[in-house]
Structure 1
Amino acid sequence: MSRWGITIPLPGAPLALHRGIVEELPDLGYTDVWTSEKAGTDAFTPLALASQWTEQLRLGTAVASVYTRGPALLAMNAATVAGLAPGRFVLGIGASSKVIVQGWNAAEYTTPLRRVRDTLRFLRPALRGEKVTETYETFSVDGFRLENPVDPVPPIAVAALRPEMLRLAAKEGDAAITNWLAPGDVCRIREEVGHGVELAARIFVCPTTDGALARRLGRRLVAGYLTVPAYAAFQDWLGRGEALRPMQDAWNRGDRREALELIPDEVVDDLVVHGAPEACRDRIQSYVDSGLSTPIIALVPTGEDPVGHVRSLGPV
């Protein structure tokens, strides 16, 4: 069986109340918990807590931005969680987006491919406990050494959407992380990263038999993400550019309502898993059958109990 991950915190559930469900996850068939970082919890705190709630789950960030923390702070964050969960932590790094980096965090968002590459090259020796004095193309580090290096050193996964970043993940990273793809897109990603590299993907899952509700919620997600230039370019590369162009044009004109209406049902059904729990599980499995190593479920809030959804979506 492949790995089977869930994104925490669950929507609508306070982080402090997660202990019970995290302790239950291994019995439900889950192997991983992963975090994201946008405008809610940070990527590391939930994993630090989860490391103390179970010794069975792998923990991963998907992802921590290479811009919103300095290189040394990112290494310290990673070493902290790796020390709490030796051999069970994966550091997922990525460029994030201009909105988050520049609009919300007052950092300059330039040359994302090179910044991710340089951060990856810094983290390798830093996490081994070596003293790093190095001038990279996008930043310099002068004399940094972790006070508490970790053993084993955690693997580093790279968030990637298009060929150059995917090839960087395969060449210099230990895994690739992607999202917003359908099962039929996995083979396209595999062409870039090869078959010897772990490929993880966050999959949006809306476990409801109310198709109209699922598509309404899915449209909001599609509009919120796939109008971001990097995601729009990714969908264009995957072949959905023409289908999404009317939505993107309306969004750029400021007509949010029309943008939502212009998203085809077929795109929502492709990119957001929905239906009864057993149908959702089958759909997630189809990603694995297509070559995905690690599906990471991201629950879409439906107003129902998210813990119940987690239980119903476990592979056991």
Structure 2
Amino acid sequence: IGLSEDIGQGMVFANGARSHMAESLTAVSATARSSDEFFIGDMIPTCISDDLEAAKAVNRKTLTSYAMLPNYRNYWKEAGYEDEMNGIEAAIEAGDRDRIPHFLTDQWLADTTLFGTATQVRDGIEAWFDAGIKTPILVPSSAKGGQMVAFEEMLAIF
């Protein structure tokens, strides 16, 4: 993260933990964090649906492949999700990849993704701004259809 200031003009997180973002951003100076010239973005899996369980299931499916990557698990452990990530590691070790979504808890989903009604997603975007993300990058998925449906659902809430 510190290199984003040393050799770049910003950074893009992918699937960052909102509750840990302030801590993560301490690796760059307050000057950089407050500068309009320094980019701070986060790619956030997003599913807009009145059916919260369906939306959570979509985000779990989307993030299961990321949860299999050690670098993501290490970050999420640092962010306070050690039990969840240890469970995933045990499932991988046992060859039981179907069990991985079980460890992507509702709390973890609420911290790393956006899901729910239009109002809940818009409020979630504001929470990401409050956490220090200057540019939330919504990565839409749909509980009702493919990628084009997801984009239509996302654009309709603004």
Q: Give the TM-score normalised by structure 2.
A: 0.84
How far did 1:200 drift? 0.8
- After superposition, the Cα gap between the structure-2 partners of 1:306 and 1:264, relative to the gap in structure 1 and judged at 3 Å, is closer
1:4-43 aligned at under 5 Å gives the runs none
Unaligned runs of 5+ in 2: 33-37
- After superposition, the Cα gap between the structure-2 partners of 1:252 and 1:303, relative to the gap in structure 1 and judged at 3 Å, is farther
In the other structure, the counterpart of 1:255 is: 96
1:79-124 CA distance string (max 9 Å, x none) = xxxxxxxxxxxxxxxxxxxxxxxxxxxxxxxxxxxxxxxxxxxxxx
- Please state whether the residue corresponding to 2:16 is helix, strand or coil: coil
In the other structure, the counterpart of 1:45 is: none
How far did 1:260 drift? 2.0
Give the residue type in structure 2 aligned to 1:215.
Answer: K
The answer to whether structure 1 residue 282 and structure 2 residue 123 are counterparts is: yes
- Please state whether the residue corresponding to 1:193 is helix, strand or coil: coil
Q: CA RMSD in A?
A: 1.7
- Please state whether the residue corresponding to 1:177 is helix, strand or coil: strand
Q: Is the 8 A contact 1:207 1:277 kept in 2?
A: yes
1:200-215 aligned at under 5 Å gives the runs 200-215=41-56
The answer to whether structure 1 residue 193 and structure 2 residue 28 are counterparts is: yes
1:168-179 aligned at under 5 Å gives the runs 168-179=3-14
How far did 1:209 drift? 1.8
Structure 2: distance between partners of 1:221 and 1:251: 17
How far did 1:190 drift? 1.4
- Please state whether the residue corresponding to 1:254 is helix, strand or coil: coil
Q: Give the TM-score normalised by structure 1.
A: 0.44
Structure 2: distance between partners of 1:248 and 1:220: 17
Q: Is the 8 A contact 1:178 1:202 kept in 2?
A: yes
How far did 1:223 drift? 2.0
How far did 1:171 drift? 0.9
In the other structure, the counterpart of 2:2 is: 167
Structure 1: distance between partners of 2:124 and 2:21: 13
1:285-315 CA distance string (max 9 Å, x none) = 111122111110100232342242132243x
How far did 1:263 drift? 2.8
- After superposition, the Cα gap between the structure-2 partners of 1:185 and 1:313, relative to the gap in structure 1 and judged at 3 Å, is farther
Aligned length: 149
In the other structure, the counterpart of 2:156 is: 312
How far did 1:252 drift? 3.1
Give the residue type in structure 1 aligned to 2:110.
Answer: D
Q: Is the 8 A contact 2:18 2:131 kept in 1?
A: yes
How far did 1:254 drift? 1.7
- After superposition, the Cα gap between the structure-2 partners of 1:178 and 1:235, relative to the gap in structure 1 and judged at 3 Å, is same
How far did 1:245 drift? 1.3
Higher RCO (CA 8 Å, separation ≥ 6 residues)? 2
